[in-house]
Amino acid sequence: MRGTSISDTAQFFFREPLSEEFAIVALYNAYRQNAGYLFAVVNPYETLIQFGLAVVAGDPNRGEQNVIVYYTPSNLHS
């Protein structure tokens, strides 16, 4: 759903802490070159992205997009 924002605590989506080894699989169809965040888990103050994926514009002449993975270890923001 374009333009949708779902806000809930991280514990709602991640019942247990992520293991040190995990995988992310995402399929998306971007409607624009700079699609923005696919998802982001933020701290309670919404000042830090703890975990997320964003799609940003790459080379527009080649139709490229870049995927950025955000991860902040919990010991850096506690």
pTM check: above 0.75: no
The span from the CA of 54 to the CA of 21, in Å, is: 20
pLDDT grade for 69, boundaries at 50, 70 and 90: very high
pLDDT grade for 68, boundaries at 50, 70 and 90: very high
The span from the CA of 78 to the CA of 58, in Å, is: 34
State residue 77's pLDDT score.
55
State residue 2's pLDDT score.
60
| DSSP string covering 4-66 | ------HHHH-SSPPPSS---------SSSS-EEEEEEE-TTS-SEEEEEEEEE--TTTT-EE
State residue 3's pLDDT score.
64
Kindly report, residue by residue over 25-60, the tens digit of the pLDDT.
Answer: 888 877 777 778 888 888 878 888 888 899 888 888
